[in-house]
A and B are shown apart, each in its own frame.
Chain A
Amino acid sequence: MRFTLNGKRADVRAHPMARLLDVLREDCHLTGTKEGCGEGECGACTVLIDGLPVNSCLVPFAQVKGARVTTIEGLGGKHPLQQTFVEHGGAQCGICTPGMILAAVALGPKPSLADMQSGLAGNLCRCTGYSAIYRSIRAASGHATERVKARTTSRLVSKPDVVRTFRSALGKRRKR
C-alpha cells in the first residue's frame, strides 16, 4: 500500500488492520515512535498524518493509504524543537519525547502557554512536570523571555539541587 513516509514515497505490505504504530516500528524499522499505553491515552505514539497529530496505536494501516505520515525520524534530528528539548531538559527518560515533539510541531509558531497546555493535553510526561517541555517549545519558537533565559543554563540542574530534591523526597533535611 502506498503512502508518503517522512517526505518519501513508501510502498509497504502489511495487514490492513495492523496498527500504524506496529507498521512503522516493525515493517518500516522506524523505532522512534514509542508505544506507551496502546489505547490512545498517553500520546507516546503520536505521529503526524497530513500534518495533524494522531495516536498511531489507534490508526489502522488501511487508513493511511495516500496520506502523508511524519514520524520523529522525519524531522531529521535538526528541527529546532529537537535541539531545544535537549538544551532545556524537555527530554528526560525520553519515552514521551518523540510524541511530545510531534505534537509540539503541530502547535505552529509562537504558541501561548494555553495553546501548549491544550495542544499537549493528549501527551503524558511523568518526568519533567511539563515546565521544561513548555520552556523547550518557547525557546524553539524564538521568543525566549528574560525569565526563561534566566532559568536555563547549560547545566540544567545543579548537583546540590538534585541532592536537595532527593533528600527532601526522602524526608531528610540538611541541617543548616
Chain B
Amino acid sequence: MRRDEESLMPLAGCTDVYVSLNFGTLKQTRFMNLWRLKELRGVDRRDGRLRIGALTTYTELIRSPLVTRTLPMLVAAARQIGGRQIQHRGTIGGNVANASPAGDTLPVLAVADAMVELASAKGTREVPFTSFYTGYRQTLARADELITAFYIPPLSGTQWFRKVGTRAAQAISKVVVAGIAGDAPRLAAGSIAPTVVRLIRTEAALAAGQTIDAAQRVMLEEIAPIDDIRSTAEYRRRVAANLVEQFCRETKTRR
C-alpha cells in the first residue's frame, strides 16, 4: 500500500482531511479513496463481539439498532459530533485515524475495551485500543496498515457519555468523558492529555469504595490538560473533576 517513496493518505469521509488540506498543514499529497469499500462499512455481531467497520459513518452508528442496544454511549457520542452534514460523512475509523486527543468516539472505544483491526498486504492483526496511541497524534499502526474495524466485547453496566464544548453541535470537545458503571467502574477521558486516557487509577479508587472527592483527586493526577485555543488547563481540570462526580451520581456509582 505504501511501498512508494511517498505515503498515501487514505480517504474516508474527509471531514478532517479537507480542513488540514485547506489550511496547508497536510503532509501527504497522494490519496487513496476508500469511501466505496462496502467491506469496511456497517455493524454486525461476530463471535459474540460487536464489529464496527471502520468506514461506518456517525449517521449509520446513530441509526443502528444493534449499536443503540449494545453500545448506547457510542450513539450519544456520534450525535454530538458536528452537525448532520458531518455525521453523514465522518466515520469512526477516520475519527480514530485522525488521532486527535479530542476525538469524541475515542473515550468510548477506550472504556469499551475495544480492539482495533489493522490490515495490510501481510495480513490482519488486532491491537487493544487502549495501547493504540503512542503519543500526540502517534499510533502503533505501521505505514502499510489500514484500520479496518473495531471489535467490542460484551459489556455490562450502565454506559455514560458526556462531552463539554462551547455548544451542543459543531464544537470540538474541551473535555469528553465516557464511563461504564458497575462493581469495577470504567472511565476514559479525552482532550485532557496528548492522547485519550483510560483513567485506571480513578477506576481503582472507585472500585475500592473511595469517596467521590478521593476519586477526583486521583483523576487529577492522571490527566495533563493544556491551555489551547478551545480552553484552559485549569478549566479542563475543573470540568473533568465535575464529570467524574456527575458520572458517579448519574450512574449511582456513588451518591
Which residues on A are within 8 Å of B, measured CB to CB?
16-17, 19, 38-41, 43, 46, 49, 52-55, 57-60, 62-63, 65, 103, 106, 118-123
CA A58 – CA B18 in complex, angstroms? 6
Question: Beta-carbon contacts of B86-108 to A below 8 Å, as 1s and 0s?
Answer: 10110000000000000000000
- From A17, A57, A63, B35 is in contact (CB under 8 Å) with A63
Does B11 reach chain A (CB closer than 8 Å)? yes
- From A19, A40, A118, B85 is in contact (CB under 8 Å) with A40
Residues of chain B with a CB closer than 8 A to A39's CB:
18-19, 22-23
Inter-subunit contact B84/A40 (CB<8 Å) = no
Chain B nearest CB from A36 CB (Å) reads 12
Chain B nearest CB from A73 CB (Å) reads 19
Residues of chain A with a CB closer than 8 A to B35's CB:
62-63
Inter-subunit contact A43/B83 (CB<8 Å) = yes
Inter-subunit contact B170/A121 (CB<8 Å) = yes
CB-nearest residue of chain B relative to A106? B84
Chain B nearest CB from A63 CB (Å) reads 5
Residues of chain A with a CB closer than 8 A to B23's CB:
39
Which residues on B are within 8 Å of A, measured CB to CB?
11, 13-15, 17-19, 21-23, 31, 33, 35-36, 59, 82-86, 88-89, 168-170
Residues of chain B with a CB closer than 8 A to A121's CB:
83-84, 168-170
Chain A nearest CB from B100 CB (Å) reads 14
- From B11, B15, B33, B168, A40 is in contact (CB under 8 Å) with B15
CA A123 – CA B18 in complex, angstroms? 18
Residues of chain A with a CB closer than 8 A to B82's CB:
40, 122
CB-nearest residue of chain A relative to B11? A60
CA A52 – CA B168 in complex, angstroms? 21
Inter-subunit contact B89/A58 (CB<8 Å) = yes
Inter-subunit contact A19/B18 (CB<8 Å) = yes
Residues of chain B with a CB closer than 8 A to A49's CB:
88
Residues of chain B with a CB closer than 8 A to A106's CB:
84
Evaluate whether A53 and B84 lie within 8 angstroms (CB atoms) in the complex, with A58-B18, A59-B14 already known: yes
CA A119 – CA B13 in complex, angstroms? 19
CB-nearest residue of chain B relative to A123? B83
Evaluate whether A60 and B88 lie within 8 angstroms (CB atoms) in the complex, with A40-B19, A121-B168 already known: no
Evaluate whether A60 and B14 lie within 8 angstroms (CB atoms) in the complex, with A53-B84, A122-B169 already known: yes
Beyond A119-B84, A122-B83, list 15 extra A-B contacts (CB 8 Å): A17-B21, A39-B22, A53-B84, A54-B85, A54-B88, A55-B15, A58-B17, A58-B89, A59-B14, A60-B33, A63-B11, A63-B36, A121-B84, A121-B169, A122-B82
Residues of chain B with a CB closer than 8 A to A16's CB:
31, 33
Chain A nearest CB from B37 CB (Å) reads 12
Chain A nearest CB from B230 CB (Å) reads 13
Residues of chain A with a CB closer than 8 A to B15's CB:
40, 55, 58
Evaluate whether A55 and B86 lie within 8 angstroms (CB atoms) in the complex, with A19-B18, A40-B19 already known: yes
CA A123 – CA B169 in complex, angstroms? 10
CA A49 – CA B168 in complex, angstroms? 25
Residues of chain B with a CB closer than 8 A to A52's CB:
59, 84, 88
Evaluate whether A58 and B14 lie within 8 angstroms (CB atoms) in the complex, with A39-B19, A52-B59, A63-B33 already known: yes
CA A39 – CA B24 in complex, angstroms? 12
Can you report 30 A-B residue pairs in the complex whose CB atoms are below 8 A from each other?
A: A16-B33, A17-B21, A17-B31, A39-B22, A39-B23, A40-B19, A40-B82, A43-B83, A43-B85, A49-B88, A53-B85, A54-B85, A54-B88, A55-B89, A57-B18, A58-B13, A58-B86, A58-B89, A59-B14, A59-B89, A60-B31, A62-B11, A62-B35, A63-B11, A65-B36, A121-B169, A121-B170, A122-B84, A122-B86, A122-B169
Q: Sort A-B residue pairs by CB-CB distance and give the 8 closest, nearest first.
A: A122-B83, A121-B169, A121-B83, A52-B88, A58-B18, A55-B85, A122-B85, A63-B35
